Amino acid sequence: MTTVNTDNQEELVCSQQTREQWKRRERELSAWVDRDKQIRIPKQTVPLGHMDIIVDAELHGALTLLKQLQIPTEFSCAGVSILDDPENHSLYAYITLLASEQTDRFIQLALQQMKHRLLVTYEPARCRYDLSSFYIGHNRSFCMLMEYCARKLLFNP
């Protein structure tokens, strides 16, 4: 585990990426920042259950299953933008999960399934995990794999 300090908050990197993978990620980020960004499909959002919470349509399935697993989530998105606003969201698809025994089981399963494609950080001060796609442009597969892992845990406890 690697410790990183961001904005005076300690984060622990729980996933295993090599130095080469981090370099590739840095190159992808630089190339992405420099190129023109065209909106191919407008962002699609849907309500989560009967609540007034609007979520990214790409993550709806995973978030629904996580709720059934009683794994509380705080934030999530699957949009691609350098800005972090409600419609465009962030550069990488991500889900923020509150720490619990069930959350730990889900994270271990996701790390086994996704390996280096999954970036997992833990914020001890907030007792929460951030799970994100490690590479740019992998948002759809991240969403699909999060749903797959949640479904696998739900039906194979």
The distance from CA 10 to its chain's CA centroid, rounded to whole angstroms, is 18
Q: Is the pTM of this model over 0.75?
A: yes
Predicted confidence at residue 83, as pLDDT, reads 46
The distance from CA 30 to its chain's CA centroid, rounded to whole angstroms, is 20
Phi-psi region of 89 (alpha: psi -120 to 50; beta: other; left: phi over 0): left
Q: Per residue in 116-138, pLDDT tens?
A: 999 999 999 999 999 999 988 77
Point out the residues of the chain with pLDDT beneath 70: 1-8, 37, 39-42, 51, 78-91
Phi, psi of 116, rounded to the nearest 5 degrees: -70, -10
